[in-house]
């Protein structure tokens, strides 16, 4: 990886008191998240982040702030996202940073920023927090894509500020954070106007921006602050009334307690182990609350999420992850019963479940092969059962004492990006089989032979063959083309219905993946390479 | 373009009496389409098409045969697709041909073969012709993907013949003809089994192939012929009962009568003009039938389809197509009323409409920008109105005598790949607007100002600005990155719901597009390059 581009090791759980690029101010029901990117405060201090352009360090703080709104600021029902600059809302991802990055980093950068924007929409849909983009100046590229992730977009009407997606005309790449999809699929802008808009480097402003459906309102500078205040109150008033608070602190993750990530760089294989809770499992929300961020499920989900990010950004050569679980199946299962039980809509349980769902969806779009190993030690029970379903394959040992234990969480409480439960996706051809697995789990742990009959084992082998079969499978997988595997897994993980998210990850990012590596973008005279230079890019004009 | 790979100019409307690779035999309700690829009879006689592996010339004959089943063989209710070889059904696309092809040719080759397979499914769904893949030997890669396009797959059980998708393990690319999508989305194979299957170079045979859902039955050699005969009769008996026959001959296209394709290679712009009918328009099916393949709508659709293929394969540098129409709007509109009128389900009208729908969908996935020009001469009426909707933009002249005239055909009779009418896709955000356009068309031709108000003009300009605005837009479009435009258009053309086809074109082909250009596939030591050589490929193992 190009270290000029990625700089020092990234810290994925920043300290909110030390944000460099954002300010989060909470006043009653309304929060204000203000962007002021420190030009030389990014991950790589040699890249100047001008005009509120962002790098990964900026987006990590944004993701962290959204997370903390849910857990630490229960009063908030509307969050205004705006800029501290006078004439610039946000210029999008920093182009020089992007142009200097490796291909894997570019793709993973876009993936992460997409997940952050989808987390904004998730908070709006499930946590009762509406988002208002107060675009108080030029709103371009990733800046407009950030606005698109909000529930409403208000643009200042100052004669010059526009919303724009200048990637195609200026950089020869696509808007990489869902812009094309959200324009036509979320805001449902007419496709010919979307075409005109996305090829207009200077963007669209004023009345036309409203007419085309690109923003919800344009407001002169003199009335901007008042309008934003009024609209944020309106949004707060209309936000879904869900249980909130009292709020807990999210402490730094530090050393993992429930997760181990062991990496064999030479074999290009990692082992991800997740352990069941050890102490008492809370029986209800009142018992869960005092545990705060130390509660097992919450902390495990945070560690899992963190480990996946480390895999993506720190171990790019690792192509295969062996997923193991350990510990007391009854306790893990009990956590699942709690998170999907009668008090599931209470704040702490709901947010824990939503966080776990996001971590699992992070796994679904991580470009690594995942093989689950189910043996005597393993604990695929309750929330951990979902790990088995998230894997590309499962190796189940045919032996006494090997059990899995699906619980009510797997009945739809942890949906994948396609909106279905992972059991539904797995048994797309025969939905009754998903029901049978759930019914069996209700009776108690499912032994290995039954798990195999129920369709939970890709490979089912006895003591004599198991180790060798797994060893060969690991070697084979690690030898295959990493590109072909990424493409194949993307197609298999998202069978069934399509959503905004599956379009973004499965389609838009695939086109971008291609375009990023084409000489027309990143070659010596490609548009991304030539950005900011006086010469024009040179294209191979063959259409494909 | 690499002429070694593409060889002589392709003939897209082959003479069925001179097929080189297929035999079509019709006996009552059952047709038998038998593949015997002539090893040195492909488009490039230097590439040996061993083991029933195919190149574009083979697929063109297949597409032609499917088309002729609909128009020339009205008795057929089931078509058996099989091989004349003893132990090989089909080995898929020829790897040496692919490896020697340019990137644009590879992508366009896959696109065409995908359209052929979707045409098989279209014939099954709408024309009452069921398809049975009689896999009488090894069925690999594109061979299995051809089988997947059929309604049923029967594999011979001879101890060695398998179905396989060996692209990932052997070639480092994806199955390029919908295989991954159809395995999990059409046949709904479990995703972990699909993963195991698609990384197993040798494939799956016998009982396991049935258990995994990869085929519908396996049958020993001694019973194979009888079983196929019985199943084909059963499929014929259960085929949808739609009006068929009496059948017409499809003559060679030769010189275009209703379409003109003018190419300016230097400007990289083409002009595609489609003209309205000149003679009398038939009033009903009985009047349409005697015209046979000379009927305006049928011939126009064939010429349009042909012109699009020429654009793709013969003019790869042309990035922008100006779409014009000419002629008598009343006559064009009358054809639309006929094709969507009370007799719309009669055979000749239905098949003409389905053919036109396929040609328009060919346009939807053609990687060229399309701009419609609506001026005094133009005739966007009836079926030709749909051309305006298929374009990425429309330039409407604000002047007297400029009119468009949508008819009932645009109410859903010509669906796009997402299953919606192009009006529904255009007005995804406000379905009533689609209804308003249709209602206005019922009243008569719609003048330019009204068309603009109804949302049919991307750009609406008067005499003074029109020519200049169009000139600038053409120049600008032709200057943009062809890759970025292809990616952008793919995202905008398929807003709304997703189908098997949008997944294949929008997602699977995007991944393939990327993988085809990666060094891991096509670099000096890439898997596709090294295929058939003793050395192993070398990979850059970074995951993206």
A330-381 pLDDT tens trace:
999 999 999 999 999 999 999 999 999 999 999 999 999 999 999 999 999 9
User: Is residue B4 pLDDT above 60, yes or no?
Assistant: no
- As beta bridge partners, residue B67 has none
3-state secondary structure of B24: strand
SS3 B346: coil
**For B508, which residue in chain A has the nearest alpha carbon?**
A491
The answer to whether B336 touches B385, Cβ cutoff 8 Å, is yes
Condensed to tens digits (0 to 9), the pLDDT of residues A212-236 reads 999 999 999 999 999 999 999 999 9
| Interval A430-453 mean pLDDT | 98
Higher-confidence position of A131 and B509: A131
Rounded to the nearest angstrom, the minimum Cα separation between B425 and chain A is 8
The length of chain A, given as a count of residues: 544
State the nearest Cα–Cα gap between A185 and chain B, in angstroms.
6
Q: At what angle do helices B103-126 and B347-364 cross, to 10 degrees?
A: 150
- Cβ contact, residue pair A483, B104, below 8 Å: no
Q: How confident is the model at residue A9 (pLDDT cuts 50, 70, 90)?
A: low
Nearest residue in B to A512, CA atom: B487
Q: What is the DSSP string of A399-434?
A: STT-EEE--GGGGTTS--TTSS-HHHHHTTT-HHHH
Nearest by CB to B484, which of A107, A174, A506? A174
- Condensed to tens digits (0 to 9), the pLDDT of residues B416-454 reads 999 999 999 999 999 999 999 999 999 999 999 999 999
B172 vs A428, A483, A515: nearest CB: A483
Alpha-carbon distance A34 to A23, whole Å?
Answer: 5
Residues 6+ apart with CB under 8 A from A379: A275, A276, A325, A326, A327, A328, A329, A332
CA B186 to chain centre: 18
- The pTM score is 0.95
Higher pLDDT, B478 or A46: B478
b vs e for B426-438, b when ≥16 Cβ sit within 10 Å of the residue's Cβ? bbbeeeebbebbb
- Among residues A131, A28, A38, which one has the least CA distance to residue A79? A131
Mean pLDDT, residues A120-141: 98
Q: Look up tokens 């050699």; give the residue.
A: B221
CA distance A147 to chain B (A): 19
Contact A191 B503 (CB under 8 A): no
Q: Give residue-wise pLDDT tens across range B74-119.
A: 999 999 999 999 899 999 999 999 989 999 999 999 999 999 999 9
Amino acid A1: pLDDT: 31
Q: How many CB atoms lie within 10 A of CB A40?
A: 12
Average pLDDT over residues A248-259: 96
Cβ <8 Å between B481 and A520? yes
Q: What is the pLDDT of residue B9?
A: 65
Name which of B133, B242, B144 is nearest B202 in CA terms.
B144
Q: Nearest to residue B179, comparing CAs of B88, B93, B61? A: B93
Are B492 and A195 inside 8 Å of each other by CB?
yes
Q: Please state, for a pLDDT cut of 70, what percent of chain B lies above it.
A: 98
Which three-class secondary structure string do you get for A272-286? EEEECCCCCCCCCHH
User: Distance from B159 to chain A by nearest Cα, in Å?
Assistant: 22
In the prediction, which pLDDT does A243 show? 92
Average pLDDT over residues B145-163: 98
Two tokens at A2?
């190009």
Q: How far is B440 from chain A (nearest CA, A)?
A: 19
pLDDT one-digit tens code per residue, A471-492: 999 999 999 999 999 999 999 9
Q: How far is B264 from chain A, CA to nearest CA, in Å?
A: 14
Is the pLDDT confidence value at B162 over 80?
yes
On the CB side of B194, CA atoms within 13 Å amount to: 30
Residue A3 clears pLDDT 60, i.e. is over it = no
Q: How far is CA B512 from CA A61, A544, B69, B367, in A?
A: 34, 12, 31, 15
Is the pLDDT at A107 greater than 50? The verdict is: yes
Region of A257 on the Ramachandran plot (φ > 0 left; ψ -120 to 50 alpha; else beta)? alpha
Residue B508 has a pLDDT of 87
Q: Do A482 and B520 touch (CB under 8 A)?
A: yes
**Confidence class of residue B2 from pLDDT cuts 50, 70 and 90?**
very low
Contact: A540, B185; criterion CB under 8 Å: no
Chain B CB contacts of A198 below 8 Å: 488, 492
At A6, the pLDDT band (50, 70, 90 cuts) reads very low
A60-103 confidence digits (pLDDT tens): 999 999 999 999 999 999 999 999 998 999 999 999 999 899 99
Q: Which of B428, B489, B544 sits opposite A104 (nearest CB)?
A: B544
Question: pLDDT tens digits, residue range A275-286?
Answer: 999 999 999 999
Work out the average pLDDT over B397-402.
98
Q: Is the pLDDT of residue A7 over 60?
A: no
Residue A210 has pLDDT above 80, yes or no: yes
Q: Which of A191, A368, A426 sits opposite B191 (nearest CB)?
A: A426
Token pair of B193 as six digits: 């089994």
**CA-to-CA dists, residue B519 to A46, A477, A509, B374, B530, angstroms:** 30, 19, 19, 45, 11
Does A294 score more than 80 pLDDT? yes
Phi-psi region of A254 (alpha: psi -120 to 50; beta: other; left: phi over 0): left
pLDDT in tens, B225-244: 999 999 999 999 999 999 99
Q: What is the pLDDT of residue B3?
A: 32
The whole-number pLDDT of residue B127 equals 97
| Helix H or strand E encompassing A237 | helix A221-238
Taking contacts as CB-CB distances below 8 angstroms, the residues of chain B near A486 are 511, 543-544
Would you say residue A421 has pLDDT above 60?
A: yes
Provide the CA B455 distance to its chain's centre, in angstroms: 29
Mean pLDDT of B241-249: 92
Q: In what order do the strands lie in the sheet with B446-447?
A: B380-381, B403-405, B446-447
Note whether B188 contacts A544, CB cutoff 8 Å: no
Give Cα B195 to chain centroid, integer Å: 27
From chain B, the residues in CB contact with A393 under 8 A are 192, 195-196
Alpha carbon of residue A371 to chain centroid: 21
Q: Are B29 and B75 in contact (CB under 8 A)?
A: yes
Report helix angle A329-339 to A347-364, nearest 10.
110
**Which pLDDT score, from 0 to 100, does residue A10 have?**
82
- How many residues are listed for chain B in this entry? 544
Which chain A residue is nearest to residue B165, measuring alpha carbons? Answer: A488
pLDDT of residue A55: 96
Cα(first)–Cα(last) distance of chain A, in Å? 29
Q: Which helix (H) or strand (E) holds B491?
A: helix B482-493
**Burial (Cβ within 10 Å: 0-12, 13-18, ≥19) of residue A342:** exposed
């Amino acid at each position: 990886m190009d270290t000029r581009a990625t700089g020092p090791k990234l810290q994925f759980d920043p300290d909110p008191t030390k944000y460099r690029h954002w300010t989060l101010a909470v006043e009653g029901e309304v929060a204000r998240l203000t962007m002021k990117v420190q030009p030389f405060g990014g991950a790589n201090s040699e890249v100047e982040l001008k005009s509120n352009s962002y790098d990964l360090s900026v987006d990590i703080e944004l993701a962290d702030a959204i997370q903390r709104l849910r857990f630490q600021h229960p009063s908030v029902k509307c969050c205004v996202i705006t800029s501290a600059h006078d004439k610039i809302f946000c210029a999008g991802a920093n182009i020089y940073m992007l142009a200097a990055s490796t291909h894997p980093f570019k793709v993973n950068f876009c993936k992460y920023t997409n997940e952050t924007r989808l987390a904004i929409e998730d908070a709006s849909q499930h946590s009762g927090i509406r988002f208002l983009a107060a675009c108080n100046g030029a709103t371009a590229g990733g800046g407009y894509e950030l606005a698109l992730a909000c529930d409403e977009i208000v643009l200042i009407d100052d004669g010059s500020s526009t919303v724009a997606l200048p990637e195609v005309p200026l950089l020869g790449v696509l808007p990489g954070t869902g812009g094309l999809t959200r324009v036509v699929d979320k805001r449902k802008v007419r496709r010919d106007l979307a075409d005109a808009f996305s090829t207009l480097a200077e963007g669209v402003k004023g009345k036309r921006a409203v007419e085309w459906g690109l923003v919800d309102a344009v407001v002169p500078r003199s009335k901007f602050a008042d309008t934003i205040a009024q609209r944020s109150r309106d949004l707060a008033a209309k936000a879904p009334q869900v249980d909130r608070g009292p709020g807990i602190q999210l402490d730094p993750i530090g050393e993992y307690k429930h997760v181990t990530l062991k990496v064999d760089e030479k074999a290009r294989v990692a082992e991800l182990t997740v352990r069941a809770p050890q102490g008492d499992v809370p029986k209800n929300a009142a018992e869960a609350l005092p545990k705060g961020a130390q509660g097992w499920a919450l902390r495990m989900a945070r560690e899992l999420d963190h480990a996946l990010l480390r895999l993506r950004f720190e171990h790019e050569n690792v192509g295969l992850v062996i997923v193991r679980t350990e510990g007391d199946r009854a306790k893990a299962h009990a956590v699942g019963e709690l998170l999907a039980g009668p008090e599931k809509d209470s704040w702490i349980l709901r947010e824990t479940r939503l966080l776990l769902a996001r971590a699992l969806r992070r796994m679904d779009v991580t470009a690594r092969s995942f093989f689950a190993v189910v043996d005597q030690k393993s604990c695929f029970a309750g929330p951990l059962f979902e790990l088995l379903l998230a894997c590309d394959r499962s190796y189940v040992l045919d032996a006494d004492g090997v059990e899995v234990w699906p619980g009510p969480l797997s009945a739809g409480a942890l949906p994948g990006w396609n909106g279905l439960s992972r059991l539904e996706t797995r048994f797309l051809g025969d939905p009754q089989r998903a029901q049978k697995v759930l019914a069996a789990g209700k009776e108690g742990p499912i032994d290995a032979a039954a798990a195999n009959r129920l369709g939970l084992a890709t490979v089912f082998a006895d003591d004599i063959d198991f180790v060798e079969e797994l060893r060969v499978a690991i070697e084979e997988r690690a030898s295959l083309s990493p590109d072909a595997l990424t493409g194949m897994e993307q197609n298999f993980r998202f069978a069934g219905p399509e959503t905004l998210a599956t379009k973004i990850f499965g389609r838009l990012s695939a086109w971008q993946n291609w375009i990023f590596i084409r000489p027309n973008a990143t070659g010596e005279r490609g548009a991304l390479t030539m950005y900011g230079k006086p010469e024009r890019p040179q294209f191979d004009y063959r259409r494909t």
